[in-house]
Structure 1
Amino acid sequence: MAVPKKRTSMSKKRIRKNLWKKKGYLAAVKAFSLAKSLCAGNSKGFFVRQINK
């Protein structure tokens, strides 16, 4: 028979939520930094094709 589990404390829930948010924030910062370096032309990670008209 199924037994209900114990309730997770608010502090533990808050810690997990903040870790989840931090992971997204760090990904956003990394993407923004990469975009800035691409716009400035300082990127060494990969090549961007320049279109000449």
Structure 2
Amino acid sequence: MAVPKKRTSRSKKKIRKNVWLNKTNEIALKALSLAKSILTNRSKSFYYGINNELDNNLPKSISNNQE
């Protein structure tokens, strides 16, 4: 005979939701920090080979930083 499961409490739902939100916020902050370091040419973990074709398509503000 089937028995209904117990209902999850609101506090447990909030805890699980906050854990998930904190993980996503941490990942988003790391991605933003990495993007900032790449844009300001402070990143030491990436090496780029620049082609003239790619350089011509970049906006002037970005292409001036790489020279």
TM-score of the aligned structures, taking structure 2 as reference length: 0.67
Shift, 1:2, TM fit: 2.2
Alignment deviations for residues 1-53 of structure 1 (CA, whole Å, 9 cap, x no partner): 32111111100110000111111111110000000000111112222333445
Give the helix-richer structure, 1 or 2. Answer: 2
Partner of 1:33: 33
Identity %: 55
Give unmatched runs, 5+ long, in structure 1: none
> What is the one-letter code of the residue matched to 1:11?
S
Larger-Rg structure: 2
Q: How many residues matched?
A: 53
**Runs in 1 of length 4+ with deviation above 4 angstroms?**
none
Supply the distance in 1 between the matched residues of 2:7 and 2:48 (Cα, whole angstroms): 51
Cα RMSD (Å) of the superposition?
A: 1.5
TM-score of the aligned structures, taking structure 1 as reference length: 0.81
